[in-house]
A and B are shown apart, each in its own frame.
Chain A
């Protein structure tokens, strides 16, 4: 037998002699590792899902909201202060560098009626640029065109959920839709983007030209006569210049809004990148938290290994005495018991990875988490295996030391 294989085959012999006991010990580690893998994969899956949604919204976009940022976040966004105007949007487009396009928009809730169907939805008045700013695609028909915007035509592009609700079984294209006191014609349907986790999705909205919204539903003006919009999305041509665009936009709007130095902004600028980093941080913490909970069970499993190894040392006192009489040094005995406990927990780790992987597949398979899929990544697997071996060595330490330090004469006399 190869020399380096010997400790392993020894360890296997020890495990084999006590099948039930070893299996139960391994089970503790299996549960711990499986829990870590499963929970971490759920955490990773949720993160990936949220990030892909955010990225779907366009990471090269910054959004300007009315209202100011206080320390507690965005205060009065989209409501109290009607400070952003269509003219602001045009100014940004013309004066701020690295801006590809601006997409000002405004929204209002409207009752939608088609035949007997009837629902309340958010109607957003948009410009053609809105499509790029939000990475929208139409599954049927066309998006709102420049012509629609300029002439204020009464057309609508429906979110997929709205289309399904109002026109179940009918092709909505070309159909008429009653929106409050106005009638609009459906010219397009948006592709579904999914969306959950509290973020509003375009699936549940109806898009009409901004000009149409202003003419037919509401036409608020600021004291200076600007056309009020709810927000302005700014598409940046170079993502590296995101910060420049943010600063330039801020100073432009401050001067346009006549704010003196020291006054608070009456708007807030929000970049996707910022959102992305916040969300990454939050979901990372969540994943770690889940992992930490699971790690507790791994710890318990490790204590189980230590317990069994201690019993095993007592039980094999005589064997240790014999080995010492045959010339085993303390480090030989150390090696024997550490190998055995590492072997136990590594085996448990391997099985645990398989079980954890299976469980996480099962979770995404039965759709327990909605559309979310779990993500088992190599780094988690490697980490779980390394931790289980580490736990094996750690929990084998005390028993192995006890074994190595046994007095050979007393050990040989042990019954």
Chain B
């Protein structure tokens, strides 16, 4: 599903350059659930951005679904994101002016068009059918994150990326979110890659990748 070959990413920082990723090799199989852990500054967010086709590597090659995406232009990358990738963010990133249902519909907007029935079904799967008309500001953090999960899943993308999905939630709500994610992952057999700080969250996954200073330091099979 995901194959990273000797990926580097360098950001210009004034006159100097900041080497965030220095030769990452990684292979994630279709249907795997993988956690990426590491201290801040270890390059895990940069790596997730590359995997999510929000950015392209400075060097190295990235194959997503057997297709090299490290050489695509911005428009092609947007297409890949629309068709193949669902994002879940730490801060939910729902649009405040839209209702929960409209936020879920937005997940399909750029992936071929809005399907009302599917949006309703996706909300039901995260247990928020009765909250469809509510604005994000009227929902709790856990509920907002569930809307965000529904938005990521509604187009049934092969790859789901989550950037600290429980980072803003208390541990109880975090567990709820993780069990929803795990259930859906088991049902739909998507590939799920998430970043987390919390070891117990990471233990929901099948594999943990430890990043340090822009390189894969260790892998842990669970």
Using a CB–CB cutoff of 8 Å, the interface residues on chain A facing chain B are 1, 3, 6, 13-14, 16-17, 318-319, 321-330, 332, 408-409, 412
Contact = CB atoms under 8 A, between A and B. Distances in A.
B106 A326 contact: yes
Contact of B87 (A14, A326, A328): A326
B5 interface: no
Nearest to A318: B93
Nearest to B55: A409
A98 B85 CA distance: 86
A326 B81 CA distance: 6
A60 B136 CA distance: 76
Contacts of B214: none
B169 interface: no
Contacts of A324: 54, 78, 81
B107 A326 contact: yes
A329 B95 contact: no
Nearest to A411: B54
Interface string B98-110: 1000000011011
A330 B74 CA distance: 8
Given A3-B113, A332-B110, A409-B55, A327 B83 contact: yes
B75 interface: yes
A21 to B, nearest CB: 14
B89 interface: yes
A412 B89 contact: yes
Given A327-B82, A327-B85, A409-B54, 10 more contacts: A323-B106, A325-B81, A326-B82, A326-B111, A329-B75, A329-B78, A329-B110, A409-B49, A409-B55, A412-B54
Interface residues of B, number: 28
B133 to A, nearest CB: 15
A73 B78 CA distance: 71
Contacts of B106: 323, 326
Given A318-B93, A322-B95, A408 B54 contact: yes
Nearest to A329: B78
A332 B113 CA distance: 13
B114 interface: yes
B79 A327 contact: yes
B46 to A, nearest CB: 9
B97 interface: yes
B93 A329 contact: no
21 contacts: A1-B114, A1-B116, A3-B113, A6-B109, A6-B114, A323-B106, A323-B110, A324-B78, A324-B81, A325-B52, A325-B54, A325-B81, A325-B93, A326-B81, A326-B87, A326-B109, A326-B111, A330-B74, A330-B75, A408-B54, A409-B54
A318 B93 CA distance: 8
Interface of B: 49, 52, 54-55, 74-75, 78-83, 85, 87, 89, 93, 95, 97-98, 106-107, 109-111, 113-114, 116, 151
A59 B114 CA distance: 65
Contacts of B85: 327
Chain A binding surface SS class: helix
B151 to A, nearest CB: 8
Contacts of B151: 326
Given A326-B106, A326-B110, A17 B54 contact: no
Contacts of B54: 324-325, 408-409, 412
A408 B50 CA distance: 12
Of A3, A14, A326, which is in contact with the most chain B CB atoms at under 10 Å from its CB? A326
Nearest to A321: B93
A182 B81 CA distance: 103
A139 B75 CA distance: 79
Contacts of B98: 13
Of A13, A325, A327, A328, which is in contact with the most chain B CB atoms at under 10 Å from its CB? A327
A46 B127 CA distance: 69
Contacts of B113: 3
Contacts of A14: 97
A89 to B, nearest CB: 82
Nearest to B82: A327
B53 to A, nearest CB: 9
Nearest to B75: A329
A135 B89 CA distance: 84
A321 B97 CA distance: 15
B83 to A, nearest CB: 7
B111 A327 contact: yes
Contacts of B81: 324-327
A17 B75 contact: no
A327 B55 contact: no
A311 to B, nearest CB: 16
Nearest to A415: B91
A72 to B, nearest CB: 67
Nearest to B89: A412
A319 B110 contact: no
Contacts of A321: 93
A327 B78 CA distance: 5
